[in-house]
Amino acid sequence: MVFDTVIRNATVGTAADVFAADIAISGGVITALGRSLGPARRDIDAAGRYVLPGGIDTHCHLDQPMRGGVTLADDFLSGCISAAHGGTTTVVPFACQLQGQSVRAAVEDYHRRAKDKPVIDYAFHLIISDPTERVLRDELPALIREGYTSFKIYMTYETLRLSDRQIIAVLAVARGEGALVMVHAENADCITWLTEELEKAGRTAPYYHAASRPLAVEREGTHRAITMSEIVDVPILLVHVSGAEAVEQIRWAQGRGLRIFAETCPQYLVLTAEHLDAPGFEGAKFICSPPPRDAASQEAVWNGLATGVFATFSSDHAPFRFDDPAGKKRHGDGAPFTKVPNGVPGLETRLPILFSEGVNKGRIDLATFVALTATNPAKLYGLYPRKGTLAVGSDADLVIWDSDRDVTITNDLLHHNCDYTPYEGMRVRGWPALVLSRGEVVVDEGKLTAEPGQGHFLKCERPVPAKPPKGMEPGSE
Ligand code: URP
Ligand code: ZN
Ligand code: ZN
C-alpha cells in the first residue's frame, strides 16, 4: 500500500505524550503512526522538528456584523489565511444574533459571509443577544441539533447583554440540549457607573478604559455566572479571563466540583494596562474587554494555564484597524475610550506567543500547549477526535514547528487585514514551518499554498450530555 503522504522522523506531540514516529496520511486523514512506515507519493522530512495537531482557535471574530459604522478588518478569507500562517487549522467564529433578529437568520447570513472563502476548516458558535420565547423554545434546540452546539452570552455591552433571568433561561436550554454556553463575565452596571465618574473627571483617554473595568468587575461577573451555572446545573465556559481575582473564583468553583471551564488569551499574558497609556492615541490599539491587567494577574493566568484551571487558550481576535474611520478611529483620533471599538487582533500570533513564552521558557510543557490550543477546544466544542489530536482516523491537520526560529513580530510579517499588531517588536522563538489541513499543505515556510474555499464547514457534536429539566430528573420527586 502506498500512502498519500508520510511525514518522517517526526517528534510527535499530543496532549498526552511526546514520541518519535512517522505519520502516514491518506484521503486527508491519518492512517498510521509508527516507525519506518512504507512508501508514499510524497515524503516530508520532519527530523529535529515537533509535529503537533493544528491549532483550533475557538474564540475569534470574523466578518461579524457590527453596529455604529465600525467593521471588522478580517473576513473569512483574510482571517483564515492569517490563522493558517500562525499554525491554526480550524477556527470557530461567531454567528451573532442582533436584537430583533432570528438566530437562524444570523446563521444563514454568516454562511453567506463564509462562502468560498476559508482556506482552513471552520465551525460556528452562536451569540444569543435576544433570547425570546421563540428562540429558546424552537430556534436554539433545532440549531443545536444541526451542529451549532455552543453559544456565547454577554453580561455587558448595551446591545448584547442579557439579564440574569435571561441568562438562566439560556442555560436551561443548554442543559436540556447538551450545549455549551460561553460567558463574557463583567458587571455592566459597575462599568457604567465607573465610566460616568471617569467622564465627569475628564478622564477619557484610552488608559482609563482599564480603570472603567477593574478586577472586581470581572470577579463579580465570574462569580455570578458560576452561581447561575451551579443553580441550573449545567457546565459553562468563561471566556477571555484576564484577572487574578477571576482566576481565583474559577479555581474555587472547580475545587467545589462544579463544571466550570475557562479560556484565556495572549493579551492577558504579555500586555498590561500600561500599554493603554501609550503616547497620543496609541493606547487605543490595546483597548479590549476585559482589559490587559498587571504583572500579578499575568502571573496568576500563567499559573492557571500550568495547573489546569484553564482548558483553552484562544485569540479573541477582534480586529479593528487603527488608522481607519471604520476602526479604532471611528470617532476620530483622540476620541474618548467609550467610543473606541473593543478588541485586538491575534489569530496569527496566538500559537507562537504561547509556544515561545510558555513552552520555550519552561512555564508549560508541550503536552499542555497541545491540550490548550487544540485537544481541549476540540473536546469542549464537539469536534474531537476528528480534530485536535494526531491519531489514526483523525483529520490530518498538523503543524511542523521550527522551535528554534527567532522571529520579531511586526505587522508587515502578518497576514491579517489589520494595520497594526499589539505585539509589534516582540521577539518570539518558535514558528510554524509547514501547516497541513486534511493532508494538504496550506502554508509552506510562510507561503500560502491553499485556495480560497478549500476549508470545510464543520457541524459540532453536542459537547455535554443533555439532561432533563431541573426538578424532572429521575428520583427528584
Ligand atoms: O474586547 C473584546 N474582547 N472584543 C471582542 C468581543 C468580545 O467581547 O469577545
Ligand atoms: Zn467577550
Ligand atoms: Zn471575543
Instruction: Looking at the CA of residue 288, tell me the nearest atom of ligand 1.
Output: 1
Map grid coordinates 500586555 to a residue: 271
Which tens digit of pLDDT belongs to each residue from 2-24? 999 999 999 999 999 999 999 99
Q: What average pLDDT is seen over the chain?
A: 97
Residue 156, ligand 1, Cβ within 6 A: no
Residue 288, ligand 1, Cβ within 6 A: yes
Residue 186, ligand 1, Cβ within 6 A: no
Residue 360 neighbours by CB distance under 10 Å: 15
Are 185 and 225 a contacting pair, CB within 8 Å?
A: yes
Distance CA 344, CA 414 (A): 14
Distance CA 44, CA 39 (A): 12
Distance CA 477, CA 153 (A): 32
Task: State residue 43 phi and psi, 5-degree precision.
Answer: -105, 135
Residue 125, ligand 1, Cβ within 6 A: no
Among protein residues, the one with the nearest Cα to ligand 1's atom 4 is 343
Residue 318, ligand 1, Cβ within 6 A: yes
Residue 343, ligand 1, Cβ within 6 A: yes
What radius of gyration, in Å, describes the C-alpha atoms of the chain? 22
180 vs 239, 314, 376, CA distance in Å? Answer: 12, 16, 13
The letter for the amino acid at 298 is: Q
Map grid coordinates 429521575 to a residue: 474
The residues facing 184 across adjacent strands are: 154
Q: What pLDDT score does 476 carry? A: 65
Map grid coordinates 500562525 to a residue: 86
299 vs 170, 217, 272, 303, CA distance in Å? Answer: 33, 19, 12, 6
Nearest ligand (C-alpha, residue 221): 2
Query: What's the angle, vertex CA 315, arms to CA 312 and CA 319, rounded to 5?
Result: 160
Kindly list the structural domains of the chain, giving each domain's residue range(s) and its CATH number in brackets, ordered by start: 1-477 (3.20.20.140)
Stretch (H or E) spanning 266: none
Q: What pLDDT score does 473 carry? A: 78
The residues facing 88 across adjacent strands are: 55
Residue 477 neighbours by CB distance under 10 Å: 6
Beta-strand relationship, 440-444 and 447-448: antiparallel
User: 217, 240, 340: which to mutate for ligand 1, most atoms within 8 A of CB?
Assistant: 240
Instruction: Looking at the CA of residue 289, tell me the nearest atom of ligand 1.
Output: 1
Distance CA 236, CA 294 (A): 26
- 100 torsion bin: left (phi>0), alpha (psi -120 to 50), beta (else): left
Most distant pair of Cα atoms in the chain: their distance: 75
Low-confidence ranges of the chain (pLDDT < 50): none
Query: What's the angle, vertex CA 288, arms to CA 345 and CA 292, rounded to 5?
Result: 100
Residue 62, ligand 1, Cβ within 6 A: no
DSSP state of 321: -
Nearest ligand (C-alpha, residue 288): 1
DSSP reduced 3-state for 173: helix
Q: What pLDDT score does 78 carry? A: 98
11 vs 78, 329, 401, CA distance in Å? Answer: 31, 46, 10
Q: What pLDDT score does 34 carry? A: 98
Stretch (H or E) spanning 307: helix 295-307
| Polymer length of the chain | 477
